[in-house]
Chains A and B, each alone.
Chain A
Amino acid sequence: MLWLALIFTAPIPFYLGGLEIAPLARGLFLSLLVWGVVATEGVGGFQGLFALLAAVQVVVGAGLLWGVAALTARILSRAKPAIRALAVGAIVVGLIGFSLQDVYRTPLSSTRPQSSLLGLFE
């Protein structure tokens, strides 16, 4: 749950021509667009490199966030179950609250150079 929350809310750098600082979910979404173009149109020029760059960042980002989630879970594992549930809930709510502000840098968007979670997939 923590991992999923981090994937959808934690701002991490993601480079695809422009440097975004946004949740990994957005990076994955952009990567799907790139892979979709490569799959339907074939590879030419720098596009293969672009697709590979996206893949590497998705894998590294997912691993990194998994590590953060696992570390947090390990720290919380020493607490009582009720407190643990409360802490996880608080973290998730906090992350969602944070993500609803215009905290993400999204230069690859044509309309929103700064965005909140709600605008990430427009």
Chain B
Amino acid sequence: MTRVFFTAVLLLAWAARASAEAHPPCDHRDSERRPFFGDLHVHTKFSLDASTQGTRTTPDEAYRFARGEALGLHPFTAEGAPLRQARLSRPLDFAAVTDHAELLGETAICNTPGLAGYDSFACRVYRGWPRLAFFLMNGRGLPRFAFCGEDGAGCLAAARGPWAEIQQAAEAAYDRTAACTFSTFVAVEWTQVGSQTENLHRNVIFSSARVPEDPPNSLAYPSPEALWDALDRDCTPETGCDAIVIPHNSNLSGGLMFALESSSGEPLTAAEAARRAEREPLVEIMQHKGASECSRTSAPADELCGFEELPYDRFMGRFLPVGQETPSPLNYVRHALAAGLAEQERIGANPFEFGVIGSTDTHLGTPGLIAEDADFPGHGGAGIPIGNEIPDSLLEVIEYNPGGLAVVWAEENTRESLFSALERRETYGTSGPRILLRTFTGWDLPEALCDSEEFVATGYARGVPMGGELSAPPSGATPRVAVWAQRDAGTHDAPGVPLAQIQIVKAWTEAGEPREAIFDVAGAAPVSRYDDAACAAPEGGADHLCTVWQDPDFDPASPALYYTRVVEQPTCRWHAHACNAAGVDCAEPGTVRSGYEACCEEAWPRTIQERAWSSPVWYTPE
């Protein structure tokens, strides 16, 4: 059995590597670029925390789900029939399965009869008591389990099985025809935590099928610098390999994700800062486990900062009363971006020159399942098993949400085109809706650009798109930001929500200290209260908004950046839909059944304003 398994592994690896990266020209190539919607954070049954809660989705099934096929979800009957189904109302354009690199081999061994270690006591506990194994195995670290053999060689070898299957699934789902309907990336999650469970997780997205023989993991490479070293060594242009690293959940990092020092505790040097900016051009600003833009305590004047905010700042806070004090501002993207400007002034390089995306971080293998409705099955990020039947309760931890999407402005839907856009940060993130958002920033953009049919052509010719860097200013010039946003068109059954307003967030420095300001530039905040008992379509708002805004306080001697935030009219959060569907009326305690208590906890707003965040544009004085 073991021999058969490893033969299959080698064949799969060969198949994945043998495929050429060449792609015929797409039937539809747009030199002015189009928005492609995707999910770059997806877990399947190969991730330990997904498997211990009963997820059976394979990478292949996850990609088919992303392309619009139905997927059966746990719980399963004794015969293996799923009791739930999910299906995207709109397929995605691209996706990446990002299973945890750590415990990949251990999980494979414990699930594969015949492999050495399958009959170990730890694997028996894994199969019989998966929830206990979730904590026991996730908390393992080094040394590896004894069943992994000497130096963990057995588990490292076993990890190549799922790693090969991940590559094969990405290859099989990638549309290499001229139709260019769907793209995939081979990817993996590097899953490091700090000593107090601070999240330092990063997704590694490979540009092509040329990838390292072993997925880089945090046991072998225990710091971000070590991860970058491994990629520098094992993923080189000479071998056709390239990769970017995308941190996520800085909101759970206890201030460590954007620390102003290296892992050795020393202040960042210019070389280290430049290296980070190059390796990590993007950050996941929104996902299933919360938004990371800003918080109510980090930006008290910004009313929109409490959006999908977690009540703790590290993983342990979910289980124990720790990390629930005021989180570090460096848990959040906005303040990290601003701090990066100050670092630019201090050391001559900006470590946090990153753009943003959203994704789901689904642990059910359901990329792009972002609908905030009563059918939301959860994403399983908390690792809680659902049991043998669908429980009469909320199906997700109350502080979690359906996650977001990554949006990429690219010429065509191919790996090459999308990866190039990811590298140049021409991306934005949404909290789920397919809001269209386009920005250009320049010194002499026409004030009436919104009225022009040449909005895009002029934007590219006389400015830079989101993610770009402004050139040196002409004398006396100040930056203008042209922003165009259009509401999510939605579907027949679920029309999109009108836009409420556009804001531009500016960060700059004064005497070396980071500063931030928010400007309302189009639309307006909602004035009427939204009825979360009915959860009906909201009134008011706009189908599209467009404006050209000029910075009123520009100082050419100070570094600055600008990013855009577009918010929709208020709608019901997922749990309000679920609570209403369950007949919960908080005014009548008798209707609040066990499992629905969170419906009536005031800490969780029943209405939200979904949104999109653009990647910033930077200005750096010469």
Contacts and interface: CB of A to CB of B under 8 A. Distances in A.
Nearest to B388: A111
A55 interface: no
Contacts of B22: none
A41 B147 contact: yes
Given A18-B319, A41-B122, A34 B132 contact: yes
B121 A109 contact: no
Which of B122, B144, B147 has the largest count of A CB atoms less than 10 A from its CB? B122
A37 B147 CA distance: 11
Contact of A37 (B121, B142, B144, B319): B121
Interface in B259-279: none
B122 A40 contact: yes
A16 interface: yes
B136 interface: yes
Interface in B300-332: 319
Contacts of B144: 44
Contact of A16 (B121, B132, B145): B132
B192 to A, nearest CB: 12
Contact of B387 (A33, A41, A42, A113): A113
Contacts of A36: 121, 125
A117 to B, nearest CB: 18
Contacts of B125: 33, 36-37
Contact of B54 (A42, A49, A110): A110
Interface residues of A, number: 25
Contacts of B319: 17-19
B131 interface: yes
Main secondary structure of the interface of B (DSSP, over half): loop
B131 A110 contact: yes
A11 interface: no
A30 interface: yes
B48 to A, nearest CB: 13
A112 interface: yes
B134 A33 contact: no
A47 B139 contact: yes
A108 B132 contact: yes
A33 B136 CA distance: 10
Given A16-B135, A33-B129, A113 B391 contact: yes
B140 A45 contact: yes
Contacts of B53: 110
Interface in A14-29: 16-19
A66 interface: no
Nearest to B385: A110
A110 B122 contact: no
B132 A40 contact: no
B323 to A, nearest CB: 16
A50 interface: yes
Contacts of B134: 17
Nearest to B52: A110
A13 interface: no
B600 interface: no
Interface of A: 16-19, 30, 33-34, 36-37, 40-42, 44-47, 49-50, 107-113
15 contacts: A17-B131, A18-B319, A30-B132, A37-B122, A40-B120, A40-B121, A41-B146, A42-B143, A47-B140, A107-B131, A109-B131, A110-B53, A110-B385, A111-B387, A113-B387
Instruction: State the 3 A-B residue pairs at the shortest beta-carbon distance, nearest first.
Output: A45-B141, A17-B135, A46-B139
Given A40-B146, A107-B131, 9 more contacts: A18-B131, A33-B129, A34-B136, A37-B122, A41-B120, A44-B144, A108-B132, A111-B388, A112-B388
